[in-house]
DNA sequence: AAAGTAAGCAACCGCCTGTTA
DNA sequence: TTAACAGGCGGTTGCTTACTT
């Protein structure tokens, strides 16, 4: 029924990396006309790319508010927490990280966080222990991250997966825990009928929405 | 120094959803 | 109600770079 994005212009896809000239054309065009109408943008901007490719390039790399560079520990914490709640909803997760894109978050998860979690015996898909973790200890409990205390949406508790000696009591994670630097307090609100809907039913997370209220994002779970 | 391998990440693909006529 | 379309999303690919042998 629907034609593929670039079917009308064979040879416009699989163009590889964007050149400086292409970037400039795209940026100049969007500055002048604004974003949108991606289907017609390539022709209007004299770009031999498909609209999707232009959109992706703009959203992921050319937008002025994109934050590049390494992820901060706070950001990593937040990604893990949100992933535990939302799963692979990268755009939702990225939406809580100012300046980060879904593609960047997804890549970071797949290349960094996933490996770290697996190394600690945590299944990165469900955030549950799947084997005996390789425990390591340090003397700085304040440095505990979500990598070491992963909120488990199934039982509503924090799974202590490593650094057991230093991280057990302080800073215990919960759905209402706080991220000071990013001002991102996560509150889980159950719309109906009761909070017990979460227990053992991760698929309930299928229909979720993060609402902004008084600058505190709230995760609402719909039944 | 060269070849082989692994890791990181930009880019593409195909499907889904919302909107409009 | 349905078809067509645009935009958006997650999964995957493949190129580039770094590292190892």
Nucleotide closest in space to A107 (CA vs C1'):
B9
Portion of chain A with pLDDT greater than 70, in percent: 51
- CA-to-C1' distance for A14 and B3, Å? 29
Nucleotide closest in space to A54 (CA vs C1'):
B11
List of residues 6+ apart from A123 with CB closer than 8 A: A117, A129, A130
Please tell me whether any atom of strand C lies within 7 Å of the Cβ of A102.
yes
Q: What are the residue ranges spanned by the domains of chain A?
A: 20-62, 73-221
pLDDT at A138: 38
For residues A88 and A72, give the distance between their C-alpha atoms in angstroms, rounded to a whole number. 20
Tokens of residue A168, six digits: 């057990």
- CA-to-C1' distance for A172 and B18, Å? 41
pLDDT at A105: 92
Fold classified for A73-221: Arc Repressor Mutant, subunit A (1.10.10)
* Same topology between domain A20-62 and domain A73-221: yes
- CA-to-C1' distance for A2 and C12, Å? 22
Cβ A25 vs Cβ A46: under 8 Å: yes
pLDDT at A14: 56
Per residue in A84-122, is it b (16+ CB within 10 Å) or e — as a string? bbbbebbebbbbbbeebbbebbbebbeeebeeebeebbb
How crowded is residue A134: how many other Cβ atoms within 10 Å of its Cβ?
9
State the DSSP string of A3-36. PPTTTTSTTSS---SPPHHHHHHHHHHHHHH-S-
| Matching residue, tokens 């057991």 | A164
Nucleotide closest in space to A87 (CA vs C1'):
C10
Residues 95-114 of A with CB under 7 A from strand B: 103-104, 106-108, 110-112
**Segment A14-50, tens digit of pLDDT:** 578 898 889 999 999 888 888 878 888 888 888 888 8
pLDDT at A220: 47
pLDDT at A157: 43
Please tell me whether any atom of strand B lies within 7 Å of the Cβ of A30.
no
For residues A74 and A27, give the distance between their C-alpha atoms in angstroms, rounded to a whole number. 31
Domain A20-62 top-level CATH class: mainly alpha
pLDDT at A7: 41
Q: Give whole-number Cα distances, A144 to A21, A88, A164, A185, in Å.
A: 45, 24, 10, 18
Give pLDDT < 70 ranges for chain A.
1-14, 130-223
Distance from first CA to last CA of chain A, Å, rounded?
Answer: 33
């Amino acid at each position: 029924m629907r034609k593929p994005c670039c079917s009308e212009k064979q040879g416009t896809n699989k163009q590889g990396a964007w050149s400086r000239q292409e970037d400039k054309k795209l940026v100049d065009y969007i500055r002048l006309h604004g974003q949108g109408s991606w289907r017609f943008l390539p022709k209007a901007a004299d770009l031999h790319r498909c609209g999707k490719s232009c959109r992706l390039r703009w959203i992921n790399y050319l937008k002025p508010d994109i934050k590049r560079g390494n992820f901060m520990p706070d950001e990593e914490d937040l990604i893990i927490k949100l992933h535990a709640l939302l799963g692979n909803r990268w755009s939702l997760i990225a939406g809580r990280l100012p300046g980060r894109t879904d593609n960047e978050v997804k890549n970071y998860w797949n290349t960094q966080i996933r490996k770290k979690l697996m190394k600690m015996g945590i299944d990165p898909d469900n955030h549950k222990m799947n084997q005996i973790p390789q425990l390591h200890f340090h003397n700085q409990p304040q440095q505990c991250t979500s990598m070491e205390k992963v909120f488990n949406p199934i039982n509503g508790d924090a799974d202590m997966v490593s650094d057991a000696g230093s991280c057990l009591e302080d800073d215990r994670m919960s759905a209402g825990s706080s991220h000071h630097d990013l001002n991102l307090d996560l509150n889980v609100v159950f719309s109906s009928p009761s909070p017990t809907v979460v227990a053992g039913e991760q698929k309930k997370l299928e229909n979720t929405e993060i609402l902004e209220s008084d600058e505190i994002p709230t995760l609402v779970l719909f039944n």
